[in-house]
C-alpha cells in the first residue's frame, strides 16, 4: 500500500521531480544543435540524420507502452530508476563511438529512459504528491521547459573539431545526478505501484473513456506541432527572408514561453474546474493559428511577434500534461491515461516532421505547408475543447459497469496503450 508521504519525503520528492524533469529534454535538444557536426564527423547520409531526429518520437511511442507493465512489476520508482540507468549508459558512451550506427543505437538507449519517465512521472506525482500534487506538476512542466531551453546552449560552450562530443557529453553529469537521487528513492519505495481498490475491477479499458481519447488526441496534435516547430521553424523563417540569428532567437522565444507556461498551466487547471477551462485550448490554438498565418503572409516584418504567438500556442503542451492527473482520481487511472495518451502522441510527433519534410520535397516552398498547419490548429482547438471539459476519466470508466454494459474482465485499471 502507498502511505501518505512524510514531510521529508515530500521535500525529497520535489528534488527528485525537478532533476527528472530537467533530464527529459536536454539529451534530445542538445543533439539537434550539433547535428551538422555529427553528420560531418560520421560522414552520415541524410537518411541516417533523419533517423536520429525521428528516434525520440518513435522511441517514446514504443517504449512508452512498456512503461506501465514495467511499473506493475517493479514499481513506479523502480521502473523510472531503471530507465534512468539505461539512459545514463547511452549518455556517457554515445559521444565517443566511432560510427553512426553505434551513435544511433546509443541514442535509442538515451531516449528509452526518457520515454519511461515521460509516461510514469505524472502517475508518480499523483501517487506521492499528496497535497503538493499541483506544486509538483508545476515543477515538472516548468523545469521541463528549462531543459528544452538550455539544452542546445552547450553547443556554444565547446568549440573545435570535437566540441560537439563534449556538447552532448556534458548532459551525462545531469543524468548521473538523476540516478544518484532516484536510487535511494527506489530503495525507500520498494514497490509503489498503486494497489487495486474495491472499485477497479468494474472499470473498462482506458480507451473506452471519451475524455481519455480526446486527451490522447490533444496531446498528439500539440506534440506534432511542437516537434515540427523545433525541427523546421528556423528553416521556415530563414527561407522566408529572416536572418539565421533572428531565426534562432525565434526558437528561443518558444522555449522561454514554454517555461512560463509550465508555471501557470497546472495552477490554472487546478483552480478552474468548470466549463471555462475548455476555452483555454481554443484560445491557445487561435494563437498558434495567428503565428502560422503571420509567418505565411508577413514573415520578415514581425517575425518575433509570430514566434511569440506560436510560443503562446505551444502552452498546449503543459496543459495536456497537466490534464492527465487533473482529469483522474485514482493513481492507477492516471498511469493508464499517461500510458495511453503519450505513446500515441509521440508517434504523431515523430511522423509530423517527416511528413513536413516530404511535403516540402513535393511543393518546394512553405506557403502550402503553412496553410496545412494553420488548418490543423482548428482541429487542435476543437479537440482541446473537449479534452479540457470537466469530465473525470474514472467516472467514464465506471459508467459501463454501472449501466450493466461490458466491462474489463481483467479487473485492471491500468491497461497500457
CB 313 within 8 Å of CB 287: yes
User: Coil, strand, or helix at residue 412?
Assistant: coil
Q: How far apart are CA 185 and CA 181, in angstroms?
A: 7
Measuring CA to CA, which residue among 115, 109, 23 is closest to residue 62? Answer: 115
Q: In the structure, how many helices (H) and strands (E) does the chain have?
A: 18, 0
Contact call for residues 83 and 112 (beta carbons, < 8 A): yes
For every one of its 417 residues, what pLDDT tens digit does the chain have, with 9 covering 90 and above?
Answer: 445 556 666 788 889 999 999 999 888 888 877 777 888 899 987 678 777 877 887 888 788 778 888 888 888 889 999 999 999 999 999 999 999 999 999 999 999 989 898 888 888 887 877 788 888 888 887 888 788 778 877 877 887 888 999 999 999 999 999 999 999 888 776 677 765 543 444 456 888 899 999 999 999 999 889 878 876 787 888 889 988 778 778 877 887 888 888 788 877 777 776 667 888 999 999 999 999 999 999 998 899 999 999 999 999 988 888 888 888 888 888 888 888 887 877 787 778 877 887 888 888 889 999 999 999 999 999 999 999 988 889 898 876 544 444 433 333 333 333
Query: Residue 144 has what DSSP assignment?
Result: H
Query: Tell me, what's the pLDDT at 46?
Result: 66
pLDDT of residue 415: 33
Superfamily of chain region 198-417: MFS general substrate transporter like domains (1.20.1250.20)
Residue 264 cell numbers, joined: 501557470
Neighbours of 392 (CB within 10 A): 16
Say which residues have a Cβ less than 8 Å from residue 331's Cβ, sequence separation at least 6.
2, 123, 126, 127, 194
Q: Give the count of alpha carbons within 13 A of 234, CB side only.
A: 13
Cell, residue 294: 503571420
> Tell me, what's the pLDDT at 249?
80
What is the 8-class DSSP label of residue 191? T
Are the C-beta atoms of 329 and 392 separated by less than 8 Å? Answer: yes
**pTM for this prediction:** 0.72
- Quick one: DSSP state of residue 327? T
- pLDDT at residue 403, rounded to an integer: 44
Q: Where are the domains of the chain?
A: 1-195, 198-417
Q: How many Å apart are CA 225 and CA 236, to the nearest integer? A: 14
Q: What is the pLDDT of residue 93?
A: 97
Q: Which of 294, 291, 293, 337 is nearest to 315 (CA)?
A: 291
CATH for 1-195 is: 1.20.1250.20
Amino acid at each position: 500500500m502507498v502511505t501518505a508521504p512524510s514531510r521529508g519525503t515530500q521535500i525529497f520528492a520535489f528534488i527528485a521531480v525537478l532533476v527528472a524533469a530537467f533530464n527529459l529534454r536536454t539529451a534530445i535538444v542538445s543533439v539537434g544543435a550539433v547535428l551538422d557536426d555529427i553528420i560531418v564527423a560520421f560522414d552520415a547520409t541524410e537518411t541516417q540524420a533523419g533517423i536520429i531526429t525521428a528516434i525520440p518520437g518513435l522511441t517514446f511511442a514504443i517504449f512508452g507502452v512498456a512503461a506501465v507493465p514495467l511499473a506493475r512489476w517493479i514499481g513506479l520508482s523502480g521502473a523510472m530508476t531503471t530507465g534512468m540507468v539505461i539512459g545514463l549508459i547511452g549518455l556517457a558512451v554515445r559521444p565517443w563511438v566511432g560510427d553512426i550506427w553505434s551513435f544511433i543505437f546509443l541514442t535509442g538507449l538515451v531516449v528509452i529512459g526518457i520515454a519511461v519517465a515521460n509516461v510514469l512521472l505524472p502517475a508518480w506525482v499523483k501517487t506521492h504528491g499528496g497535497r503538493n500534487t499541483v506544486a509538483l506538476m508545476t515543477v515538472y512542466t516548468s523545469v521541463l521547459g528549462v531543459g528544452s531551453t538550455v539544452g542546445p546552449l552547450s553547443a556554444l560552450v565547446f568549440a573545435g573539431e570535437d566540441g560537439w562530443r563534449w556538447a552532448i557529453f556534458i548532459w551525462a553529469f545531469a543524468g548521473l545526478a538523476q540516478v544518484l537521487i532516484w536510487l535511494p528513492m527506489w530503495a525507500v519505495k520498494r514497490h509503489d505501484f498503486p494497489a487495486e481498490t474495491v472499485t477497479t475491477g468494474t472499470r473498462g479499458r482506458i480507451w473506452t473513456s471519451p475524455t481519455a481519447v480526446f486527451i490522447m488526441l490533444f496531446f498528439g496534435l500539440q506534440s506534432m506541432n511542437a516537434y515540427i516547430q523545433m525541427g523546421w521553424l528556423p528553416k521556415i523563417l530563414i527561407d522566408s527572408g529572416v536572418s539565421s540569428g533572428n531565426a534562432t532567437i525565434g526558437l528561443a522565444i518558444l522555449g522561454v514561453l514554454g517555461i512560463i507556461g509550465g508555471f501557470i498551466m497546472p495552477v490554472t487547471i487546478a483552480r478552474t474546474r468548470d466549463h471555462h477551462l475548455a476555452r483555454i485550448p481554443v484560445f491557445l490554438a487561435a494563437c498558434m493559428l495567428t503565428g502560422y498565418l503571420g509567418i505565411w503572409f508577413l514573415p520578415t516584418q514581425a517575425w518575433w511577434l509570430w514566434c511569440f504567438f506560436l510560443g503562446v500556442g505551444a502552452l498546449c503542451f503543459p496543459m495536456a500534461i497537466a490534464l492527465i492527473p487533473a482529469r483522474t482520481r485514482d493513481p492507477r487511472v492516471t498511469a493508464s491515461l499517461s500510458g495511453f495518451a503519450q505513446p500515441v502522441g509521440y508517434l504523431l510527433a515523430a511522423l509530423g516532421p517527416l511528413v513536413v519534410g516530404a511535403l516540402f520535397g513535393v511543393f518546394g516552398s512553405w506557403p502550402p505547408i503553412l496553410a496545412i498547419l494553420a488548418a490543423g490548429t482548428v482541429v487542435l482547438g476543437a479537440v482541446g475543447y473537449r479534452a479540457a471539459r470537466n469530465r473525470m476519466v474514472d467516472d467514464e470508466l465506471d459508467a459501463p459497469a454501472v449501466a450493466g454494459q461490458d466491462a474489463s474482465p481483467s479487473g485492471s485499471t491500468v491497461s497500457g496503450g
